[in-house]
Chains A and B, each alone.
Chain A
Amino acid sequence: MQSENRNIDELKSGFETFYQSRILPLMQDMENMRKKYLRYFIIACCLAVVAIPLLMWAIVHFQVGASIAEQNSSSFADSAAYGLMAIIIAACGTPIALYKKKSKSKIMPLMLQYFEGFNYQYKKTISSVNVNDTRLIGFYDGREGDDYFEGVYQNVPIKVSEEKFTQRKLVYRNNKPHYENIEVFHGVLILLDMNKNFSGQTVVLQDKGFLNVFSKVNRDLKGLNNVKLEDSVFEKEFEVFSSDQIEARYILTTAFMERMLKLRAAYHADKIEFSFFNNQLFIALETNRDMFEPTSLFKTCLNKKLVEEAYLQIVSIFAIIDILSLDKRIGL
């Protein structure tokens, strides 16, 4: 049975059998791996608990009461001590990162096999589209992908990635200026084929009332004009900008606006924004939490809860196609 022809309810109900037959055996093997990495983590933490106070004591001890000449000569030793502390802290995080990478690389492709024809890649971003062109993500300097999968659901090609965008900003701490990477977006990016043809660009942003001025400052909306739509409820939730007033109304019919409101209600806790361009729909779903995490170093693999949660997150992404009726080429 192709995932293309299964609806959301069928996908949800059929997962239990798939979990028991395919995922659970792998999870049993994974449990040994988890225990191994958890051991490494505990050892690293124990080492840190002992070593860090010792190193700090050493730094303080050699500085207090030392002459200026002695202090200069010990600066190299201080740096080495700080470096060592950084290595120890990194060593604590390494088992978590390694386990995440290894477990995800095994479980996610298997989980996506249930949807048939879906490919998974770890740490990949949506590369087929220039994110700047979507105008949904504000100005950023750094971009990091976590999960990426693509395939076809209900005959609609879909690409999904979980990504983080950061901006390098000058901040002052203890009156000292330094640069820090501030997170500007953390969430899921979804690229879908639309069931309509259009040449311009229409951007649908979340309405933040009087704070809208700030969201406009932080993005490039050059060449786009504000579109006032006839649906007052929609106008309350979203702000629309487009390069073509008629095309914006062609895409955002009253029926489509209603569906978008339904989608907004379904993801109410999260910020959801849309960009229509090149006959495609790009959705930015800001969640500020890690999505698609079927395992955790600190939770047993034999508990189905995490896998189920990640699975439902994937299904909820596919539900967007159903809610927006993108599978139907009726133009409404």
Chain B
Amino acid sequence: MPRKRDLKKILIIGSGPIIIGQAAEFDYAGTQACKAIREEGIETVLVNSNPATIMTDKGIADKVYMEPLTEDALIKILKKEKPDGMLAGFGGQTGLNLSMAMEDKGILDELGVELLGVNRNSIKKAEDREEFKKLMLEIGEPIPASTIATSMEECKEFVDKIGYPVIIRPAYTLGGTGGGFAYNDADLKKYATRGMESSAIGQILLEKSIAGWKEIEYEVIRDAKDNCIIICSMENLDPVGVHTGDSVVVAPTQTLRDKEYQMLRDASLKIIRALEIEGGCNIQFGLDPVTGDYVVIEVNPRVSRSSALASKAAGYPIAKIAAKIALGYGLDELTNYVTQSTSACFEPVIDYIVVKFPKWPFDKFRTASRKLGTQMKATGEVMAIDRTFESALLKAITSLEVKCDGLRVPYVTNLDDDKLMKKLADCDDERIFCIGEAFRRGLATVDDIFEMTKIDRWFINKIKNIVDMEFTLAKEKLNKNLLRKAEAMGFTDSEILELSGVKREVLQDMRLYHDIFPIYKMVDTCGGEFDAATPYYYSCYDTEDEGVRGSRDKILVVGSGPIRIGQGIEFDYCCVQGVWALKELGYEAIIMNNNPETVSTDFDTSDKLYFESLHMDNVMNVVRKERPEGVILQLGGQTALNLAPDLDSRSINILGTHFSNIDLAEDREKFSNLLHELDIPTPEGHAVTTREEAFEIVEKLGYPLVVRPSYVIGGRAMQVVYDDDELMRYLKEAVSLSTEHPVFIDQYIVGKEIEIDGISDGKDILIPGIMEHIERTGVHSGDSISVYPHFSISDEVADTIIDYTKRITKALSIVGLVNVQYAFDGDKVYVIEVNPRASRTVPILSKVTGVPMVKVAIAAMLGQSLKEQGYGTGLYPRSANYAVKVPVFSGAKLVDTDMVLGPEMKSTGEVLGIDPNLDKAIYKGFLAANMHIPTEGTVYVALRDYEKNDNSADIIRAYNAKGFDICASKGTAEFLNERGIPAQEMSMDEYKEALEDRIQLVINIPTLTNHSETLGFAMRRLAIERGLAVLTCMDTAEAFLKAIELKQKNTDLDYRLVWE
């Protein structure tokens, strides 16, 4: 069946901002889909509010609407564009939900738009618990005893019948939000209530728990002719009970006999056929390790995180093929993109093992419970490929950037035996390290650990092999055989050095003399059976090296690793742009990265892809193999930049800004001195080692102050303090003060925060735009709403900023990208920070201004002057649009984390609101961030003392004037009443009750954050869980008023293309 000829124009729905459970994988899938459709000569129209994505860039889709993913926006865009078809299966749950809404409203029928790939029926049957259950019963596929409930009574009735434990899952949610295990009545009440609340339709599934069974996943593709194939099978190391997004996952399955494998394969085909999916889908099974019985856990009728992983693991581009199928192609009419000669209708075979390891945000959210369960907590993941499980696991671990060189992390190593065993039993993010440590201390046998964790003994035995090798290295004299064995098992040089006690030179010489270096093998989808044309490599210590060094000049781009808070998809955007720019300039562009979710690790993005850990050892091995002309570090965020000292000391050519200047910009003291020399103001700061010293500084600088420790011990890190009490409390509670661990105290400049991104060729600088933050200084730039272009500062201030930027850039001899953050206190402009690398806002400015920043930067790094490049120098002419970046928090996922704005970043993603009118752009930004914008009802207000001022009173008065009733905490109510604002005092109990109906918005500026025992924390959580907006900065509250005003007026929004 060739493709449907009547399709001339197709609209693709993106997935919007990155949140836990819906991350970079959809940029990867969407980009592939756009490319696959466009190459058919079909016009593509993309709607996505996420500016950090590759898919929203010029050249991927024909038309891009960077607009909120709301029903209103989509209806208007559909009406305007009149596409022939719509693809919803590439935008995650957001895409599916929106497409369902369009169908429900009859829009698609009205406009004659065909829903491609998925259909209403498949979505409903796969996602609605009851329908799914019915279907499974119909086709005879086993599912756990379960019931659908919309009330507590129904829950109780079910449990009375089948007993505990039960698992609770809400219907229609992302990443398992709101689910949990209940072992007793109290658990049941807690999770059932929360689940019903977080479900879009107030519906939950109660299910007999199969915790402890093996969790197996299959990625399946089906075409309209009913051809079905399995792309990849995956086995979760963590048994059922831990969300697959939080599990260590291997591909292919390891502990299944062929019979078991085929049994689940048959079931997968049966299910995808019954659902009539045309495209990709993910099916999860539970397999009883004792009886071999299985149950179907869940089906995702679309591409997902798992399909991105499966695509990278097997080398088979699922999204691309799924898009082609949506156009009508049969699998047997398509070619295998990797071999370019064989058919796409085959099942990839793997001749290596893949380990996926989640990346959790607990280093940022130190108070969050690290315990893993049915609710996903990871923000990203890494993948490693190798010939054995041990080496793939160790590679994955060193990819996590948790400061470890092997299966040991200091925290676990330092636990006493009891605490260690307790932590092991607790199932948290460090369990694998605990297992290793338990073996190391001889506290448990393989069987003991199996009993405690239910992790299959196969995995436990392999972990034990790693520990056994540690002992061997410590005990035996290092010789060539042992060294080769240890390296082949995935041990890093640092780990071997530490365990064996030999000197680095000795190790180096042994490697050289005996030629113990990794070789590179190709990922080819067919286990070597056919010739492959795709340059996708992984390292291993085996015999035949398949890596062939090309003859062209080559440049290595180091990627940004897993998605985490503070380092998101925007850096992958920069790396991909960088690779493309290098290709255009005629270089062989080589990338190394370890993130399976991203576009940078797609097999056809670069000229050569090394899917590798970004540990120094692995980077050096690739450098040794390829001997590139230069290495680019400034695109891969802090991950890549952190490699600069080591690469520089080995005399490896780092392109762009010289290492000594990177170091200068990153060293607080040196940089401060430089600014003094340049006569550029910067907040004064000092390091203190005693309380006395701290208070001396207070004398000198005065409050407020920014305080942060040089060494984080848990508890709080950076904070703004306003008086002696707060400072004292900080010094006492949050940090241990000593000469080894000083605390930095900086002057806190209260005022506007302004940020620029620029490109320099060493002589001139091009500044695409200036961005002004809505929130005052003290809020991390990643968490503040920022507006391009600047809208409130005077030309004089802007000129000063440009002048300072030019001088700093010159002094640091910046070549390539630079980001500078400023504060303006109404009088003076201060430099807060200079980042000599790509920043979070590069994709935004590139898209809004049309200056391809990374491309220009790459050309500059390779010697082309800015003047030659034709984008001019100095400040680029402003665009006709305002662009408002609004951060998005995954607050609903991390129940014990306080999403209060402050100096530490907490958001996981961002959206952009674009409009020629600033207020409308702001409104669009809030809409795109999916914030609940009320038009009536009650606003609850609680302000810290410092905020009880005129400005706050004016803002609350404005809310009142817009028709909102004001309720407040005791102190705040008194303050507001004094200012003539009618505010009703409200107790916690009243608040809880009022949340159910009256309260529509919470404005809460807390004194203490992240203290789960405080009342404020509980209040904020309750509101977040009810889907209300909780504003924790008065500036946000002020901006939010604009959105409310426009919504109250029923303002009609225009949705436009980013580029006409």
Instruction: Determine if chain A interacts with chain B.
Output: no
